[in-house]
Amino acid sequence: MIRLAKYNCIDQLKKDGSPVIIVALVEEAEAVLNSCRELGINVTAFCDSESRKTKEKFCGLDVVHTPALKKHYPDARFIIANPNIKDCSRQLSELGYDEIYSSLEILERYDVNKHTHKWPVPYMAQKIVVAKSTHSSYFDEKKTFLRSIDIMITTKCSMNCANCCNLMQYYVDAKNTDEKIIEAVDTLSANVDYIGEFRIIGGEPLMNKDWWKIINNILAKDPNRKILVYTNGTICPKDEHLNSFKGKNVNFYITDYGKLSKNAEKMEEGLKRYGIGYMRKPADNWVDCSNVRQHKRSVSRLKQVFKECCAKTYYTLLNGRLYTCPFIANAANLKALPDNKADYVDLFSEKKENLKNRISRLINMDGFFPACDFCDGRPNDPTTAKEYAGKGFIKAAIQTSEEIPFTKYK
């Protein structure tokens, strides 16, 4: 039985006893550690399911590979920093741990403005708010919530990566997505209880000349919505566009691909100038997961693929349809797999009286989707995955000028 606690964890964790470990090297983990130190909770280490993150210390503490926890800390207690509390608690439970705590109460005591962080305060503040709301929603069984929604506003990209996990390399006629983006966002929002973050993605979202208008239109309906723009740092936003975000919940995540991200520094300067939160992070190696091919797996193997997938809660909105991840969204959009209504919810054609239930079923799926059989798998760590057909870690952003063939369905 998992003892996953929402509140009353601080006194328990302050008691002398087994080691305390913070789960996952997400942005919020630094805030959880800072808060623990203020509260008198002695944190021993961090853990993460990606082995490559264990090679260096984080905030001065060791990072243990999650599958190896029992070897090093057989009787540990855990604080989950990751907003994806469901998968983290399940993984720890399967390892035999039962004293697991949400970081909600700890983060509620945290003042982001009193600390220095690796990332700007507005960015950290938004991440902490989303984490708290997501953890709180998790404990309310009546709520249907999404930690985030990826809103695809274009399939155009300023780079030509051969192994893009969002499948942009397969688009020959890349274009901006349909004009009903705002209507789709509002329809989805009206049929769930909570969405933590509205993530603007592509392709490269700034390839859509109306990208900034789309963001402001999303916020016009509800200014409390929190926006995160994912960009590759190739296109520098205009000053008037950045100025339109002043005082609003808009942050940027810049993946820095070195020389390819030719405007990353200039973009960072502009964001600083207008007081907009951001994170600029060098690209890690990618997990090879961009092939679209049918594997004809058994039911048990498909369940394992889905269980190990790190992207199954990257809910994606594309052309009025809600998908569980960007791979399925784009594979379906490309017609690279058979059309199967079990893979998505059409927000415009579904009967209104059925919409909430259909969305809830997709969000709470605990088995697999038919489209999962066309994916090689996208585990956090391919070195420990039981059901993965890719090549493991590969160099990020290898450019290509060739058209990449794939099987197209009617």
**pLDDT recorded at residue 1:** 36
Does one domain contain both 181 and 83? no
The β-bridge relationship of strands 277-282 and 250-256 is parallel
**Number of domains, the chain:** 2
Is-contact 122 171, C-beta < 8 A? no
Q: Is residue 364 part of a domain?
A: yes
pTM above 0.85, yes or no: yes
Residue 69 shares a structural domain with residue 179: no
Do 217 and 112 lie in a common domain?
no
Last residue of a domain, one of 89, 123, 157: 123
Please enumerate in sequence order all residues whose Cβ is within 8 A of that of 74, keeping only pairs 6 or more positions apart, or say none: none
CA atoms of 302 and 306, how far apart (whole Å): 6
Q: What's the pLDDT score for residue 7?
A: 65
Residue 38 burial (C-beta neighbours within 10 Å; 0-12, 13-18, 19+): middle
Q: Does residue 258 fall inside a structural domain? A: yes
* Model pLDDT for residues 27-56, shown as the tens digit of each residue: 999 999 999 999 999 999 999 999 999 999
Let me know whether 207 and 353 are in one domain. Answer: yes
Q: Give the residues of the chain that fall short of pLDDT 70.
A: 1-3, 5-7
Residue 153 lies in a domain: yes
Q: Give how far the C-alpha of residue 83 lies from the chain's centroid of Cα atoms, to the nearest Å.
A: 9
**Residue 42 lies in domain:** 3-123
For residue 249, the domain's CATH number is 3.20.20.70
Of 71, 92, 123, the residue that ends a domain is 123
Q: What is the CATH number of the domain that holds 40?
A: 3.40.50.720
Please tell me whether residues 50 and 158 are part of one structural domain. Answer: no
Strands 316-318 and 321-323: antiparallel
What's residue 2's pLDDT? 47
